[in-house]
Amino acid sequence: MLRILRDKKTAKKVWIGLAIIIIPAFTLWGFGSSSRSKEENTPAGKMFGKNVSNLEFRKAIAATRTAAIMQFGDNFPKIEKYLNLEGQAWERLVLLQEAKKRKINISDKEVIETIQKMPYFQKKSAFDNKTYVEILRYVFRLQPRAFEEQLRQNLILAKLYSQVTDGVKIEDSQIRQEWLKNNEELSIYYIAALFAEFANKINPDDKEISAYYDKNKDIFKEPPSLNLEYILTESDEEAKKITDLINKKYDLDKISKELNLPKKETGLFKQYAPPAALKIPQETLNLILTLKEGLPAPVAKVDNTYYAYALKENKPAEAPALAEVKEKIKELITNEESRKIAQAKIKECADKLKNKPFDQVASASAYGFKTGQTKFFKSSDQLDNLGPGQIFWENAKKLKENQLSDIFSDSNGYYIIKLKANKPVDEDKFAKEKKDLGDNILSREKSKVFGKFTEEMKKKAL
């Protein structure tokens, strides 16, 4: 059934606007929605100073899951585990609250018309109710009423997106600049002061290494390490019991004994890099760190398993012994010194080249630099002996005939270049591609604006 979403090419057009704002991410349905239990109304967190119930939060999760299936089709099961479930659900709730403040509404008529136009609910180019019900049941696992409410919210978010980004404009010059960056070909002469050329002349001794360690000890500090204890279950009923006991302030030892569930440990791991096998949501980990040792965070569900985690040990950050990082320090000193030497030499070279011909051979012999000229290349090309071409293309594009560039650098070295030639561009090709490229650039700029707006709203919600 998921293939239906993938094969309908026009589906992308229907949902492209929503995909920008509803970033999909989920793995979890919750404990069920057949009744509004006390646990469902327990706050999942706070937003704009008000409680958000677990029921409301799970609805947001379900809505983001639906959007993810629409976006990824039959690839969704493969990437589901990599998606940020909780973060995107909170983001959705924040944006819906802002839309509510702005009194953005969607009528039943708009919801119905949107559903009828969705290509994956059609048969023989017309809306088909049987197809609609089957896809909701087997693909989205939703009742029509729940899906229609999710869609209403999605359309509200789309209107919010339009309001926030309505004033975003782009100039023709931006479109041409982007097109040239992707299509125009240049060639250059270059002088390269590569760090690697000077590194083999640097060999720090033990005294230098020890002094560097003492001066920069903090940069070698390992992050805090954690050891978590946890109990797990695949039973919905046991998960509910665990939640009830957590709400009663039971610690993990007491919960383990009460329910006869074994307590396990993760072993020490770096706080900011939990092992992939652990699959602990980042929000759960953050919450655990605010709780007393032994007191569990709310139950987290990953795949088909429920987990109740508590902190057992929090090992503070500390610097390793010098012997453990000696080779690393040697490498750092070598890199830093080679950069300094390369920078000093190319500055000296640049001063001598002022108002003189671009004499690559003389420069190379005097300073030990790499010199040469390139073939025609685009911004996206890799250059032999130099690496990614973008920075060279961008600097060459600024140059007039016979003009030397200012010194610039990348991760490999410092450079001075001169434009050798550029190929005439195909203006007919530009004319054909201008509109689509402009639409892409405008979409990208709107996404940036809306992304910044969303981050501001999230800060206000805290």
Q: What is the pLDDT of residues 82-114, one digit of tens each?
A: 888 788 999 999 999 999 999 999 999 999 999
Query: Which range among 67-81, 159-173, 181-195, 435-449 shows the weakest confidence by mean pLDDT?
Result: 67-81
Domain annotation covers residue 412: yes
For residue 445, is it within any domain?
no
Domain shared by 418 and 335, yes or no: yes
Q: What is the DSSP string of 317-340?
A: PBPPPHHHHHHHHHHHHHHHHHHH
Look at residue 6 and tell me whether its pLDDT is greater than 70: no
User: CA–CA separation, 433 vs 426, rounded Å?
Assistant: 11
Query: With contact defined as beta carbons under 8 Å apart, do 377 and 187 qualify?
Result: yes
Question: Are both 204 and 268 inside the same structural domain?
Answer: no
Average pLDDT over residues 292-320: 88
Q: Is the pLDDT of residue 276 over 60?
A: yes
For the segment 114-143, the average pLDDT, to the nearest whole number, is 90
| pLDDT, position 376 | 97
Full DSSP string of 344-364 = HHHHHHHHHHTTS---HHHHH
Q: Which domain holds residue 193?
A: 185-218+321-422
Give the domain-ending residue among 315, 337, 352: 315
Same-domain pairing of 123 and 26: yes
Match 């023709």 to its residue by tokens.
172
Higher-scoring residue by pLDDT: 121, 362: 121
Q: How far apart are CA 168 and CA 157, in angstroms?
A: 17
Mark whether 355 and 214 lie in a shared domain.
Answer: yes
Mean pLDDT, residues 398-424 taken together: 94
Residue 129 lies in a domain: yes
Strands 186-194 and 126-127: unpaired
pLDDT recorded at residue 274: 79
Q: CA 419 from chain center: how many Å?
A: 37
How many folded domains does the chain comprise? 3
What is the reported pLDDT for 377? 96
Cβ-contact 319, 222 below 8 angstroms: yes
State percent of the chain over pLDDT 90. Answer: 60
How does pLDDT run across 314-340, given as a tens digit for each residue?
A: 888 888 889 999 999 999 999 999 999
Show which of 134, 166, 198 is a domain's final residue: 166
Q: Which of 42-46, 289-293, 346-350, 441-445 has the lowest mean pLDDT?
A: 42-46
In this predicted structure, the answer to whether residue 14 has a pLDDT above a threshold of 50 is no
d(CA 371, CA 30): 63
270 shares a domain with 132: no
Residue 394, pLDDT score: 96
- CATH code assigned at 303: 3.10.50.40
* β partners of residue 226: 269, 314
Q: Is the pTM of this model over 0.85?
A: no
In a domain, 439, yes or no: no
**Which of 42-56, 163-177, 379-393 is predicted with the least confidence, judged by mean pLDDT?**
42-56
Q: Does a structural domain hold residue 171?
A: no
More reliable by pLDDT, 7 or 423: 423
Residues 135, 209: one domain?
no
- Compare 199 and 77 and report the one with higher pLDDT: 199
In a domain, 392, yes or no: yes
How many whole angstroms separate alpha carbon 316 and alpha carbon 329?
A: 23
What is the per-residue pLDDT for 40?
54
Buried b (16+ CB within 10 A) or exposed e, 165-198: beeeeeeeeebeebbbeebbbbebbbbbbbbebb
Average pLDDT on 7-22 reads 42
- Whether residue 397 is predicted with pLDDT greater than 70 in this model: the reply is yes
Is pLDDT at 34 greater than 50 in this prediction?
no
Q: What is the per-residue pLDDT for 220?
A: 87
Q: Does one domain contain both 254 and 398?
A: no
Residue 253: pLDDT over 70: yes
The reply to whether 362 falls in a domain is: yes
Check pLDDT > 80 for residue 28.
Answer: no
- Residue 26 and residue 131 in one domain: yes
For residue 141, what are its two tokens?
């696992």
Does residue 441 contact residue 174 with C-beta atoms inside 8 Å?
Answer: yes
> Across the chain, which distance is largest between two alpha carbons, in Å?
86
Is residue 99 in a domain?
yes
> Do 333 and 311 belong to one domain?
no
Which residue, 251, 283, 315, sits at the end of a domain?
A: 315
- Same domain as 123, residue 201: no
DSSP state, residue 222: B
Q: How high is the mean pLDDT of the chain? A: 86
Q: What count of other Cβ atoms lies within 10 Å of the Cβ of residue 82?
A: 8
Q: Which amino acid is at 288?
A: I
- Clarify whether residues 212 and 226 are in a common domain: no
**Domain check: are 344 and 276 in the same one?**
no
Average pLDDT over residues 422-447: 94
